[in-house]
Amino acid sequence: MSAKLEGKTAVVTGAAGALGSAVATHFATEGIRAIVLADINLDAVGALAETLRAQDIEVVAEHLDVADGDEFDALIHNAAVRFGAIDTLVNTAGIVSPNARIHNLSTADWERSMSVNLTGTFHGIRAVARTARKKTNVSIVNIASVSGLTAWTYAAPYCASKAGVIHLTRVAALEYAKEGIRVNAVCPGTFPTALHDSLPADALTAIEDRHPLGFGAPTDLTGAVAFLASDESRWVTGHSLVVDGGYSLP
């Protein structure tokens, strides 16, 4: 059986993080030819970049603040020039909002989540659409969350931004289908990472209890991301694929 992403090129944002680095590592096992590892924390992608280069993959490690649309445009343009084309963008970069109810949140708390999670995803889709519309067979995979489908207390900016990502995915899929760009999302349940550092331990236990299959790990998501990035999903667009250990069943 051939690898799902044989000869393809990719940009992964949030590549220094738990899921972003797992996605990049998995893409390497699926035959990716070239990849941009983009993160606001550039130093943290160095080791991953070396590991992938040792597998004969062309790797660019690049600073990116997804909230900066000009920086995102430049990164996608430069990658397309360098690699010849961008086949897939995985919008993984994301942040949680403060663990607080709405009346205790500042406008800045709200805007920070929106600017990274939702506007950052918008910037990524826009950059690819500006660069790649003449190329058919491009796949964008947005990392949303089950929190965009189910309501959580103490997390209004995060939930609202992820719900926005899910609907933006549908609109973008419709706008660009005829131009060969598919846009899908993955909605993970909880897999404990640095994102949860600010949560009290009892809150984490309560969250785990709500996952019939228990907490996940980044590698439980990577197959779904690779499927949506690959030609195996060529007739799938605008979809939000829930991968959540059963969290959203009840």
Ligand X SMILES: NC(=O)c1ccc[n+]([C@@H]2O[C@H](COP(=O)([O-])OP(=O)(O)OC[C@H]3O[C@@H](n4cnc5c(N)ncnc54)[C@H](O)[C@@H]3O)[C@@H](O)[C@H]2O)c1
Site for ligand X contains 168 (CB under 6 A)? no
Reported as type and span, the H/E element at residue 182 is: strand 181-188
Only one of the segments 39-47, 73-81, 225-233, 235-243 lies at the binding site for ligand X (rule: CB under 6 A); that segment is 39-47
Q: Specify the stretch interacting with ligand X by CB under 6 A; choose among 23-31, 47-55, 183-191, 233-241.
A: 183-191
- What is the contact mask toward ligand X in residues 115 to 144, using x (rule: CB under 6 A)? -x---x----------------------x-
Say whether 247 is catalytic.
no
Residue 250 burial (CB < 10 Å; 0-12/13-18/19+)? exposed
Q: How far apart are CA 237 and CA 2, in angstroms?
A: 23
Q: What angle do CA 150, 156, 111 make, to 5 degrees?
A: 135
Residue 191 in contact with ligand X, rule: CB under 6 A = yes
Q: Which of 64, 160, 168, 228 binds ligand X (CB under 6 A)?
A: 64
Q: Is 114 in the site for ligand X (CB under 6 A)?
A: no
Asked if 166 and 144 touch (Cβ cutoff 8 Å), the reply is yes
C-alpha span between 219 and 191 (Å, rounded) = 10
Contacting positions for ligand X (CB under 6 A):
13-14, 16-20, 39-41, 64-67, 92-95, 116, 120, 143, 145, 188, 190-191, 193-195
- Residues serving a catalytic function are 158
